[in-house]
Amino acid sequence: MRRLKALVRRLGRPWHVQIVPGDAGEIRHVRLRGWMLALALGGVALFWLGFTLAVLAFVWSRQALLAAEARLEAVRGESRQAVRQAAEESDRLRDENRTLRSRYEELFERLRRLEETVETNDERLKSIAPPTSKAPAKGQAVFLAAKRETARIAALTARPLAAGAPPASALVEAAERGLSALEKAAAAQGAAIEETAAEVEAYRERLRRTPDIAPAAGRVTSGFGFRPDPFTRTQRFHEGVDFANAVGTPVVATAKGTVVFAGRDGGYGLMVEIDHGGGLSTVYAHLSAIAVRVGETVDKGAVIGRMGNTGRSTGPHLHYEVRRYGRPVDPAPYLGGEIRVEAGEAQD
């Protein structure tokens, strides 16, 4: 308190201030009252305080501006990152759609090939199966069901899927798995059909090479087995079946085969022998004309000559034999059973 009172007393006294110019001019004396000095010092203090506050305000505003700029740059960075992520997601979706479209196209191309395979299998099956077989219809029904399912999946993936629905890629994968199973089934079916077709063709070829039709029109005058010989009247084994008719009556091959003999053979007269394979052959004797040559392949029912009366014969007829590995066998089982011999005299 004493110090304050002393300071007030000092300020109350007059003050002298000397102003010394720098160029050695006249020194001036200024006499100041205490209250004037106090006022000047207070003004200086206020100025200094204001200046200090202004500097502090500038620094604070500068820091706030820098912070705002930093936040703005962060927001810009986040925006750029969001835009970049959106662009990447758009590219990914575009690539995924392109991939799905490609998979769709491949799926439908595979479906088209599967349809061709199924149709081919059906045609092959129809060619070997009885007309009443329902196998082709069943195969076509399975294929149509697969086609409808694939079309349904394509329709689903063509529009936004409902919440909770599987993604389009999962639907395509399911369709591809189903199609792969159908393709394997169709391939297995095709292989089985080809194997069956080969077996059926082999069976048909055996039928074509089985002598099961009559070699000529006419009445049967002699059967297979012992009978009175028309020349000696003694019992003699007859190795074939005789068909009697007019000279020139067409004689046909009773089965498909290869001509191994065509010419004159002693008591058989003009004769043709056909090899049908598997040790089976047929003989056509006493012909008046031969229409085939050795080495020629003839079909069942093809005309191979004309009925005649050549060789050891007592009248125009055809002597017909069936041989297995060169030994004559009864032709009756090949001609549908027992052969009824009509009354009349044997001709050879």
pLDDT digits (tens, 9 = 90+) for 116-173: 887 887 787 777 765 444 444 445 555 565 566 556 555 655 555 444 555 667 777 7
Please check whether residue 346 lies inside any domain of the structure.
Answer: no
Number of domains in the chain: 2
Token pair recorded at residue 307: 């009925």
Left (φ > 0), alpha (ψ -120 to 50) or beta: where does 8 sit? Answer: alpha
Assess whether 19 and 160 both reside in one domain. Answer: yes
Assess whether 193 and 238 both reside in one domain. Answer: no
Mean per-residue pLDDT for 330-336?
89
Assess whether 102 and 233 both reside in one domain. Answer: no
Assess whether 43 and 100 both reside in one domain. Answer: yes
Q: 174, 208, 242: which is the final residue of a domain? A: 208
- The DSSP-derived string for 116-178 is HHHHHHHHHHHHHS-TT--HHHHHHHHHHHHHHHHHHHHHHHTSPPPTTPPPHHHHHHHHHHH
Assess whether 185 and 231 both reside in one domain. Answer: no
pLDDT in tens, 178-215: 778 777 877 887 788 788 778 888 888 989 999 999 99
pLDDT in tens, 231-251: 667 778 889 999 999 999 999
Q: Which of 227, 246, 190 is nearest to 345 (CA)?
A: 227
Backbone angles phi, psi at 49, to 5 degrees: -65, -45
Close Cβ partners of 234 (under 8 Å, ≥ 6 residues apart) = 228
Please check whether residue 345 lies inside any domain of the structure.
Answer: no
Assess whether 159 and 184 both reside in one domain. Answer: yes
CATH of the domain at 271: 2.70.70.10
Share of the chain above pLDDT 90, in %: 29
Structural domain that includes position 315: 219-335
The per-residue pLDDT for 155 is 61
Check if the beta carbon of residue 215 is closer than 8 Å to that of residue 320.
yes
More confident residue, 136 or 283: 283
Q: Which of 240, 346, 242, 259 is nearest to 305 (CA)?
A: 259
Mean per-residue pLDDT for 4-10?
64
Assess whether 165 and 224 both reside in one domain. Answer: no
Assess whether 26 and 105 both reside in one domain. Answer: yes
Please check whether residue 340 lies inside any domain of the structure.
Answer: no
Q: How far is CA 311 from the centre of its chain?
A: 67
CA angle 74, 77, 81 (to 5 degrees): 140
Query: Up-side HSE of residue 69: CA atoms within 13 Å toward CB?
Result: 6
pLDDT in tens, 45-73: 888 888 888 888 888 888 888 888 888 88
Assess whether 58 and 98 both reside in one domain. Answer: yes
Close Cβ partners of 111 (under 8 Å, ≥ 6 residues apart) = 146, 147, 150, 179
Q: Where residue 339 falls among pLDDT bands split at 50, 70, 90?
A: confident
Assess whether 225 and 199 both reside in one domain. Answer: no
Q: 158, 182, 208: which is the final residue of a domain? A: 208
Please check whether residue 131 lies inside any domain of the structure.
Answer: yes
Left (φ > 0), alpha (ψ -120 to 50) or beta: where does 77 sit? Answer: alpha
Assess whether 192 and 259 both reside in one domain. Answer: no
CA distance 36 to 15: 9
Assess whether 52 and 78 both reside in one domain. Answer: yes
Does residue 267 surpass a pLDDT of 60?
yes
Q: Is 263 helix (H, G, I), strand (E, B) or coil?
A: strand
Does residue 285 surpass a pLDDT of 70?
yes
Please check whether residue 213 lies inside any domain of the structure.
Answer: no
The per-residue pLDDT for 292 is 97
Please check whether residue 35 lies inside any domain of the structure.
Answer: yes
Please check whether residue 347 lies inside any domain of the structure.
Answer: no
Please check whether residue 94 lies inside any domain of the structure.
Answer: yes
Q: 158, 186, 208: which is the final residue of a domain? A: 208
Close Cβ partners of 142 (under 8 Å, ≥ 6 residues apart) = 182
Lowest mean per-residue pLDDT among 16-25, 238-247, 329-338: 16-25
More confident residue, 345 or 240: 240
Lowest mean per-residue pLDDT among 7-16, 92-101, 149-158, 242-251: 149-158
